[in-house]
Amino acid sequence: MNSETILQYIDLYGYLIIFLFLFFGIVGIPAPEESLLFLIGVLIVHHQLSFGWAVLCALLGTFIGMLTAFLCGKYIGYPFIHKYGKYVGITSERWEKVQHNYTKNAYKTILFGFYMPGIRQMSPYFAGIAKIPFGAFFLFSLLGTLLWVIPFILAGYYIGQTFNVNPVYVPYLGVLFLAIFVIYMLVKYIRKKRLQHRDRM
């Protein structure tokens, strides 16, 4: 996805395309959301997007995507796991353990999971399956949406103003963010294994 493609879609469908990209990115269809948000900020600098409309559509797409995934997890996910989980090794005991571990950190995961590709897609489904109260999920996912969408757009806006960023190169940021995430997870995994090894000695 490049800036020309996005602008073509916007010309055809209006700001609805920003809503759709972020909505489907949250519910699980792969999309480079961070680079898209950064690109929105850069395109605002180039006067190709309206700040107000772009931010509003980005916020709505992300937040409604979170609510949709939560409701799918709540009304479809648990019955599906309960009925078919045994065929893929998800026993009642295992599910209760996973649910307990998620519930302990659910609100932190909902709030900060936006910054971790994969986690932000799985978190709302898990919250619904784990029966996290809707009011609490609504509040934390709304706050998380604001803390994720607005900083990335503002980063694109201010960096685009300062360095005159060419929008054509912005989509490559998605690859950079993914690489940083993978490195972070590998380092975390290695440290955990080392600590476990020390405890056994």
With cut-offs at 50, 70 and 90, classify the pLDDT of residue 172.
low
d(CA 62, CA 10): 18
Q: Which residues, other chains included, contact 20 with Cβ-Cβ below 8 Å and sequence gap of 6+?
A: 13, 61
Contact status, residue 42 vs residue 161, Cβ threshold 8 Å: no
pLDDT digits (tens, 9 = 90+) for 132-151: 899 999 999 999 999 999 99
140 or 3: whose pLDDT is higher? Answer: 140
> Which amino acid is present at 45?
V
pTM of the full structure? 0.76
Q: What percent of the chain has pLDDT over 70?
A: 70
> For the chain, what is the largest distance between any 2 Cα atoms, rounded to a whole number of angstroms?
64
Neighbour tally for 146: CB within 10 Å: 14
> Tens digit of pLDDT for each residue in 61-76?
999 999 999 998 888 8
Sign of the Cα pseudo-torsion (41, 44, 28, 98, in order): positive
Distances (CA, A) of 56 to 13, 59, 192: 16, 5, 40
Task: Please give the residue that has the higher pLDDT: either 171 or 26.
Answer: 26
Q: Would you say residue 32 has pLDDT above 80?
A: no
